[in-house]
Structure 1
């Protein structure tokens, strides 16, 4: 929508016809746009009018400065890794699904742990007995994974993080893997449903014996920022890090 009116074009169509997408909203708005772009990934400049704004670079009060920087080509770009997920059941496979933040496998409505057998590059990692499992990009490391106890990753660190959600085994902790790894996850208990969610979008029911394969997408997202902005300044500001209080 533009000024409250529908443009008549889909996000994918706009992406195919533009060099830079300016998204006004919060992190959720950017995630929704990325999900709708499909293969037409284009640079995104975020203006924060939401509540958090890890992915946005300008606020609603500084949008004039942002527009001037865009017009004068005075913006920087951080190449953000995307992940892709596919669900395989026998000889059937879903289309590739793209996410900027994370892919989450979680239990359904029943308040019961699920068992998720996880392999990395074909080698068994472990069977997580937990509420669910998060596979996050460095960009997504400051989202759900962080809330679940995962580490903060530099956006261009070249890794993914696998974080269990409320694991029953206390030694189950986040593990960092190279972003060229192939991660396969399969629900071990057929009696309880498991759902796959990418970037908080509509959940997909993972059928019994299905394998969810997660890997790095071939394309990256160029995320724009103002010249003076940096990842660490955003972390300090958003997480209110101000040094020792002692």
Structure 2
């Protein structure tokens, strides 16, 4: 890949962020790349920069994100599409979306810029909310869409249709619609399955369902999923990738489809998805 301009977005709240950032900048310039960054990242270097995250997305071919999965998700929501290729350098916790760490990033950067990389194309969710049959809000998610009970500790009723066919009315704390990327996040903790990135499906996972037979349902990523709170359900919230919630009114319809846009994550050639999965979930492969 001929990525002559490399963008950097760093999470300044992480311990050691500025030191690692300086080292990454030096490494990239040593490899002959132009390096750009947004205002917040520039401030960690003591520089005054006018670029926004959207500007960085538009101007670079490769974006290096310093932080964890949360930092990468935030960058995706603040950036613009079509997005550049994204390489995460993890100094967060799990880091399912990252391809390098503080100890091996220099080698990984060199290999990636030489074209020795795995490009993993990740599906996004396109979300539209209709009120009185009129679209009034839209968004995009990389991990998951969550319709939940909000602040009140009570079960809510959610009517779910797949491609216009009634699936069921869930009595639960909420519902998660996750991409393969998001299947290792909230959906996994709610009992959902792990999906391979190229599986071509989404998963619908109820949160603490009242009916024990309600389990995760895997649907084709070309499907249209609609979620509607029952007419008497107030206080229901919609959340994308754990960001600020949107309050839904009774009867609001949330329509979820695969986005026309995708995100291309970059991993070193020796790090396929199932190796990442084994490492991050600490599966030993041995009988206990």
TM superposition score category, shorter chain reference:
over 0.9
2:41 is aligned to 2
Match of 2:258 among 212, 216, 220: 216
C-alpha separation in 1, matches of 2:180 and 2:241: 13
> What pairs with 1:63-142 in structure 2 (closer than 5 Å)?
63-142=105-184
Over aligned residues, Cα RMSD in angstroms?
1.4
2:56 is aligned to 14
> What pairs with 1:1-246 in structure 2 (closer than 5 Å)?
1-2=40-41, 4-5=44-45, 7-246=49-288
Specify the SS of the correspondent of 1:161: strand
Bigger mean CA deviation after superposition, 1-10 or 89-98? 1-10
C-alpha separation in 1, matches of 2:187 and 2:78: 23
- Distance verdict in 2 for CA 1:243–1:73, change over 3 Å: closer
C-alpha separation in 1, matches of 2:276 and 2:199: 17
Tell me if the contact between 1:48 and 1:58 (Cα under 8 Å) persists in the aligned partners: yes
Deviations 1:163-222 (A, max 9, x none): 000000000000000000000100015243110100111111112211000000001111
Structure 1: 5+ residue runs without aligned partners? none
Specify the SS of the correspondent of 2:41: coil
What's the CA shift for 1:232?
A: 0.4
C-alpha separation in 1, matches of 2:254 and 2:242: 17
- Structure 1 residue ranges, 4+ long, deviating more than 4 angstroms after superposition: none
Bigger mean CA deviation after superposition, 203-212 or 170-179? 203-212
C-alpha separation in 1, matches of 2:70 and 2:209: 27
Specify the SS of the correspondent of 1:157: coil
C-alpha separation in 1, matches of 2:134 and 2:84: 30
Instruction: Give the total of aligned pairs.
Output: 246
Q: What TM-score, normalized by structure 1, do the two folds share?
A: 0.96
Tell me if the contact between 1:38 and 1:98 (Cα under 8 Å) persists in the aligned partners: no
Tell me if the contact between 1:87 and 1:212 (Cα under 8 Å) persists in the aligned partners: yes
What's the CA shift for 1:42?
A: 2.0
Structure 2: 5+ residue runs without aligned partners? 1-39
What's the CA shift for 1:70?
A: 3.2
What's the CA shift for 1:69?
A: 1.9
Bigger mean CA deviation after superposition, 59-68 or 33-42? 33-42
**Highest CA radius of gyration, 1 or 2?**
2
Tell me if the contact between 2:234 and 2:248 (Cα under 8 Å) persists in the aligned partners: no
- Distance verdict in 2 for CA 1:123–1:192, change over 3 Å: same
Considering Cα pairs closer than 8 Å and 6+ residues apart, tell me whether 1 or 2 has the greater RCO. 1
Q: What TM-score, normalized by structure 2, do the two folds share?
A: 0.82
